[in-house]
Structure formats: structure tokens, C-alpha cells
Structure 1
Amino acid sequence: MNKIEFTDINRFLTSLGTIFIGLAFLLPWFIIQNNSVVLIDEEKIKKLTPIAKEIIQNQQNTLLTVNNLFPIISSTLVLTGFLMLFLGLYRWNKRQLITDRIQDEELKSKEFQNLSTEMKREIIADDIKLADDIELNDDENDLNIDENLNQDIDNYLNIENRIYLQLAEFYKREYSPSQNIKIGNFNYDVILKSKDISLRSDKIIEIKFYKNTISIENLKEAATQLTLSSKYYEKTFKRRSAPTLLVIYSGNEYPLSLYQYRKTIREYCKTLNKLVNIKFIAEDKIDTYKPENLLKNYIKG
């Protein structure tokens, strides 16, 4: 017979219900096993001592009572058992559904999900609008902005793809590359997953393209998101990661020198308790830039 569970009310109800149902089926066996008391000859009983006679008489009375009440006792045990079993399983199932949902969400948060083309274009569009501070005024301007924006998005995607292909080809022996990935609530441009984590950490690369101007505040926001996504990656997969912020620029004149940008963002990243590698590459130098220099920390942009 099952052992009664006291660790959880639902387990207690189901185990107790199972025992009640089992007792209902054991009751006939109990009656049959004690039939010998009823079948004792009266002559034999007369020869017994008064105490023995009283004991046998009590056993016979008990057995008779159980036998008379058997339908009621058995039905009550079965009904009560099934009721407790149903109640326990129903409550258990409700809690299990919640547990399964939580586990599914946790599993989903650990899965690499490919970003759809639409989602990726929306993310880039937001980056471009934030970097260029685009404001929509009237319908005509909206159309012109949308047309230019789509062209900028296409160019942005082309830049990301060119960089990814270079990295994937150059590091294919040491890393397994992934592009445009969503893990939990974070988006990742490029992930280079080390084939031997004991020798080298995974590389998380965030690519930002600035066509017109480079904003310090925008870079700080990018560094913050990269830091958070890198920490989430480490916590989720229990793997070391080395984040790199790769800044692609198109213009030649900026409020600060590239050295000042790099120094400012590196100092800012220290306040986030995460070492972030920062690289600056001119758009027209992408195809000639050596991929091996990208992952070298704190060497010339």
C-alpha cells in the first residue's frame, strides 16, 4: 500500500485517496480471513474458559457488524477515496501547469532564437532614428524619411553581414558563429561560441553603424545593453564571455577624436563592472580590416 505523503497537501490527498480505495477492496479479504471465528462449533465454545468464550463472542460480534455494514463502509471508502484522489490530482494538475509554464519560459530563455528579417529591420530602424535624432513632421516628410530610412537599413544590414562573414570564416576552427540571435529579452548581433571554453571565452559582438555623427550618450547606451546582454548570457549558459562593441563610422569629422570616444566609453564600462572591448572601423576599411585584430583587447581601433 502507498505511503502517505505529508510534504505537499496535493500529494497527501492523492495518497490518502489511493489508500481509502485500497481499503475498500481489502475489506472483503478481511471478512473472509476471519470466517473461521464464525464457523467454530457451539460444542467447542462451551468447553472454553469464560474469558475465551467472551473473546470469541466479541470477535464474532465485530465480524458480524462489519459484514452487515460492509456495503456502506466499502461504498464510503470508495467514494471518499475517489473524491480525495480527484481533488488532489486536480489541484496538483493546476500547480503542474504553472510549473510547466515557468519551466518552458526558462527553457525558452536559454534557447537561441533567430531574429526574423522584420524584427531585425525594426531594431536597426530604431538605432538609426536614435543616432540621427529623426523626427517626423508631415506626411510628405514621412515618405521621404521612410525611403531614406529603408536605404540606410539595407546599408546597415550589409555592413553587419560583411563583418559577420569575415569573422565566421576566420574563426571557424575555434568558434561556432551565430548571427542575429535573441536569447531571453536580449538581442545579439554576433555570437562566437568557443569550441573549447577552457581555452577561450565566447565572444559577444555588438555592431553599431554611425552614418553622420557619433553620440557619446548613444555609445553609452549601446555599451550598457552589451554589458547587460553579456552578463545575462553568462548567467544563463554558465559560460565566460568577452563582449566587443564594434563601431563602424562613415564620416570624418566628429566632436571628439576616436581616441577620446574610446577612452570615454571604456571608463564608462568600468562603472558597469564589465570589461568591454571597443573597436572603431571606417566603413570604407571594413573589407581590408583584419578579423584577427577585432578580438584583440585594447589595441589600436
Structure 2
Amino acid sequence: MTEQNVLREAENSVDVEGLLLEVRHTEWKSGEGLNIELDIEVSDNEVHTVSGMTRYKKKDGSDNSIASGYQTIIDTYKSVATHGRDEADQIRVSGGKIGLNEYYGQDDKLRSFPQISSNFFNRVQPGEEFEPKAEFSTELYVRATREETDSEGNETGRAILEGYIPLYGGKVIPFTFVVSEEGSEYVMDNYEPGNTVYIYGDIVNYKEKIVKKTKAAFGKDKETITYKTVREYVVTGGEDPYDEDDVKVYDGELIKKALVERETYLEELKNNRKNNNDTKKENKKGGFGKGKKEKSKKEFDPDSLPF
């Protein structure tokens, strides 16, 4: 393994193709940039959201073509939400990347969800082949492998592959994949902690509405609605672990350093949320008059209830 000083960004690619269901966008509070989200249907009950963000201007002050592309999507693309299913555009997303959407909730617990981002959205043109899909390929620094079990502890035949994906700027994110039955044995036998590997497969985001009717003795039958949801990145293939002397092998020490920096980032994210909440509470005080008046403490009187 060659010595590295900077953690190399992993090969990390996502391709999504399907029917455009909806486009959402928001402008940055500073007015300097734009966020966009596209919901894309690849099959019945399976929808993927692809997000993007960009500044209106480049560092040199010139117009940003990516922002112009986003505006074209907002102004001219036809979605099911705006034009109906028959007129909606077929969309092709290339050059996407696997990432994480992370934030802290009111309970101070970290919420972390897989996220697909891209700057490259195109309409499938008439005459072009339309192939609905959601696929990924990425390099991974292996953390661990194990057999997958169901809620009752029974083995499913698939495997769980955990690892870290190095991103731009020396950052890393933890990510968990599911390995198909065809590849589970190979991964369990050959992918070891510390290996650098290249894997690929399918992104699954399936949600099915299930309606169960209970026959009534009289009147309307009772309906119970539940949802079957499956969200996973399924590895369908991969290569042998990189040789130790391969220049692309990740340095474990650099991975550890990036993980320490990640913990610092998450702590700052948590503190910022707390500070923002404290500020909001302070701003709510004294909404009428000069300030909040101290209330005298009173004992609860059950006789005061109106019933």
C-alpha cells in the first residue's frame, strides 16, 4: 500500500431513470443559491428522491450553468403533479452520488438517512430507449460483514456489509449495504475489515399500501390500512478486494482521522441545533409588553373543573 496524505474521494456513482412525479425547490435564505428535489418513479410503488444544491454564481462571479439547469427543470419539466401521468416527462439522472441526510431531532438523537444527490438531470428524448432503474456503484472501506437475520433471528441467506465511503474533501460517511443471496457467501469469506472494495447493485425504495377489510355485522366494513416499506442498497456484484500494494487502497489511519473529524462535525451539528432552539425560546419571551411576567404558583383545585 502506498503512503497517502489525503483521503482520496471514492468512486461513487448513482444512475436513476424513471417518470417524473414532482419537482420541489427552495431558494437559500441568503438568496445566493438554490435547492431542488425530484421524485422519480422507477416502478409501481417505488419512488426515489434525488436532490441537488448550487450557487447562482461561480467564485469568479460568472453565471453558474448548474443553477441555470435547475431553473430549466423548475420552469419547463412536466411532472405528474403538474401535468398528469400521460404528459409527465421521463427523466434520466446520471453522475449521482450516495450520501447521507443527517440532523438531530428534538430528542437530541441523530437521524441519518441515505440520500441521492446529483447536478445532472435530463429528459429522455423521443426515440431514446427508456430503462427505469435505480443503480449504484461505489468503492468502500470495509468495517464488518455478518449474516442477515429477520425479526425472529432466522438467517435470510443474505449478508450485511458495513463500511465507510470517502467523500470529497477528506470526509467519510458510514454506510450499510445488503448483499444478495448469490454474493453473500463470497462477501462473508473474502471481504475483511480494512479491505478496500468496489461494489455495485440496486437501490430499493419500495412502499406498498395494504388495505385489509373486516366484515361488519351491519353497516360499512372496517378498513385497516398498513404500509409495507423496504429501503435498502442491495449489492448484486463486486470485485475482489484491492491488493495491498494497489495505489487505490485506503489508509486505515486516514480513515480513523476522518472519523474523528466526523464526530467533531456531528457534535457541532448537535450544539447548533440546541443554540438555535435556545434563541427561538428567547425570542418568544416578552411577546406582549416589556417582558414575561412571573406567574405566582397555584395549587390545583379539583373543584374548579367545570364538570
Structure holding more helix per residue = 1
Q: Which bin holds the TM-score, normalised by the shorter protein?
A: under 0.3
TM-score, normalized by length of structure 2?
A: 0.19
The structure that has the greater radius of gyration is 1
TM-score, normalized by length of structure 1?
A: 0.20
Structure holding more strand per residue = 2
